[in-house]
Amino acid sequence: MASASTGSRVSCGRDLNCVPEIADTLGVVAKLGFDFLCMPLFHPRFRREFECEPAKSRPGAQTRSDLLLCGRDWNTLIVGKLSPWIAADSEVETERRNSEAALAQELNFSAYLGLPVFMIPLSGPNNANLARLLLNHIHTGHHTSNFWIRVPLMASEDMREDLIENEPATYIDDTEVDEKSWSWWHSFRTLCDYNKRICLAIEVGADMPSETVIDKWLGEPIKAAILPTSIFLTNKKGFPVLSKAHQRIISRLFKLEAQFIFTGTSQHTEKDFKSYLQYLEYLSQNRPAPDAYDLFAKGYEDYLQSPLQPLMDNLESQTYEVFEKDPFKYSQYQQAVYKCLLDRVPEEEKDTNVQVLMVLGAGRGPLVNASLRAARQADRKLRVYAVEKNPNAVITLENWRFEEWGEQVTVVSCDMREWAAPEKADIIVSELLGSFGDNELSPECLDGAQHFLKDDGVSIPCSYTSFLAPLSSSKLYNEVRGCRERDKDPESHFETPYVVRLHNFHQLAKPKPCFTFTHPTTNMNNNRYQCLRFSIGCNSVLHGFAGYFETTLYKDVTLSIKPDTHSPGMFSWFPILFPLKQPISISRDDDVTVRFWRCNNGKKVWYEWAVTEPSCSAIHNPAGRSYTIGL
C-alpha cells in the first residue's frame, strides 16, 4: 500500500477520525473502492495521563487489541494517525512531558502493529521537539515504518472565509502568506536531516497558493495528497468535480505517483461516496498520453548514473543500440548534412564534385547511414571515412561496408586525434556531445582532428553551449547522499556530476548559458570560467544545479535538451546534475551566484564549482580530486 501505485490506477485512501468497529469499517471502505484506511490508533479524545496520579495508574487497556485485524491487514491497509491533542512542543512543561510520553506510546504501538505509514500533522512553525522525538524513534527501533508529515498547502488562518459554494478557487498572491506552511515543513525536514523515511502528505485546501509556490511544493518528496470533500464543486448532474486550479495540481501529483486520501463527510449526499473516487479516476484516465521521451525515461526518474566516458572506455553494443533508437537525432543530422551538401555543391557540379565527409567516432554506423541518406536526398556525390577507436564497433562497421556501403566508405580503426588522414575533409560529422555539451570531451577531440579539415571545411555540429539552472530537490539530495563509497573520500559523491532524468524537483530559475565551443576554431584553449547570477523570487533551498545543452548542427538545424527548447521526443541525453555538499537556504530577495570552471591539465578534464551568493559554499572537486574525464 505505502508504495506508490505501479499501474495506471490511482491509489486512494479514506481518512476517518473515529472508527468504532475497525474490521467492519475496513470492509465498507474497501467496498467503496479505497485501497487503505487512515485512522487514529488511540481514541482521539482519550488524553492519557503519564505524569500525575491517580490517572497515571489507571488500569485496563489504553486502546483496542491488535487481534481485531490479521497482521497482513495492519501491514498493508492501515495508515496510523497521531492523536490531535499531542503537543510535543508545548511551552507548558507538564503538557509537553505528557505529550512526549503519549507520542512515544503511539509511535511504538504503530511499530508493534507493523504499519507501513504513520501520519503526523504540523500545525505551526515550532516543531523541534517533535522532530527530535521522531528522529530518536527512527534511530532506536528495528521497524521499517515511513512517516508522512501532514502539512496544509496554506495555513488555516490564511484561508479566505468568504468562499461561496461552487465558486472556483482563487490564487492568493501574497507570497509571505503562501509560503508559511512550506517553511514549517522545511524546518522540520532540516531538523530531521532529510531522513529518507520522513515524507510529505500535503493537504489541499479550497484556497490555492500561487503557481510559484505550488511548483516549490511539487519539488518536495510528496507521497500523498489529502483532499477534503469540501473542496469539490458540483457539476450540472450533481456529481463532485474540482476547479481548474485544483485539477492542475492533481494532474501534476499523478506524475509523482502520489497517493490520494479523501477526508470529510460527503458533500454530495444524493450521490454515492464512490463518485469522488470515480472523478479522480476519470482525471487520471484523461491525462495526455506519454511521448517517446517519457516512455523511454520510465523507471529512470531521479535515478543517478555516472556520465559516460567514451574516450577513455570502449562502449558496449547495448549502449550504442539505445542511442541508435533515438527518432529525432539522426533525422536532424541527415537534414544538416543535406543542407550542407546543397550549399557546398552547386547543381551544375553535382556529377563531378565529390565531397569528402569524415565521421569522427562512427560507433556502429548511424551517422554514416544518415550521411549517405542525405547524399541521396540531395543528389550529391560523397566519399566517406568512418573513423572509430573502439575495435569492437569497427567489426560492425566493416560488416556494414562489406554488406551495404561498398567502396564509397572507408573504415578507419584509429583514434581521430592520432589519425594521419590521406586527404583533407570538406565536412566532419561527429556525435561526441554529453549531457553538459562538452563533458565527453568533444572540444579536445575535434581540435585534435581539425588539421585534416579544409580551410573552408564545415564541422557538424558547428557549435554547442552548456546551460545551468539552480534546483531544489530533497529526493536528489538524498540520492546523492546514498552514493557514498567506502574506499573514496567521504564527500567525493557530492563532487561528482550525475546524469539523471530529473523528476521530483523544483527548478528555481530559468537556465543560463555557461560554456560555448565552436568548430572549426583558432582558439584551442578549452579551459573556461563562468560566473552566473540567478534571481530566485521565493523562499527555497538550493541543492545543486541542473545542466543542459543546445547545439547547432548546421545553420538552423539544432538539437537541444534545455527544457524550453527540448527537441521533440529526443531521449539520447538526460540532464546532468551538479550537487552541493550542503543545502543552502535562500530567501525570496536573494540572488544565487555560482562559479563554474572547466579545467584541463593535458591528461584529464574536470569541472569545479562553488556558490558565492547568498552564502559561500566550498569549492567542489578542486584539482579534480573526486571526478575527472580521461583524455
**Catalytic positions, please?**
431, 440
Neighbours of 67 (CB within 10 A): 7
What is the C-alpha separation between 141 and 104, in angstroms, rounded? 12
284 grid coordinates: 487520471
- Residues 141-178 as b/e (b if ≥16 CB within 10 A, e otherwise) read eebebbbbbbbbbbbeebeeeeeeeeeebeebeebebb
**Residue 377 phi/psi, 5° resolution?**
-65, -40
Place of cell 581521430: 416
The distance of Cα 514 from the centroid of its chain, to the nearest Å, equals 21
What is the C-alpha separation between 122 and 83, in angstroms, rounded? 12
What is the C-alpha separation between 613 and 589, in angstroms, rounded? 12
User: DSSP 3-state assignment of 494?
Assistant: helix
Q: Using an 8 Å Cβ cutoff, are 221 and 474 in contact?
A: yes
What is the C-alpha separation between 154 and 179, in angstroms, rounded? 8
What is the C-alpha separation between 356 and 111, in angstroms, rounded? 71
What is the C-alpha separation between 245 and 168, in angstroms, rounded? 8
What is the C-alpha separation between 473 and 504, in angstroms, rounded? 7
What is the C-alpha separation between 156 and 535, in angstroms, rounded? 30
Distances (CA, A) of 325 to 227, 267, 293, 321, 579: 42, 51, 11, 7, 30
- Residues 584-597 as b/e (b if ≥16 CB within 10 A, e otherwise) read bebeeebebebbbb
List residues bridging with 528 in a β-sheet: 598
Count of alpha carbons within 13 Å of 217, Cβ hemisphere only?
31
List residues bridging with 413 in a β-sheet: 388
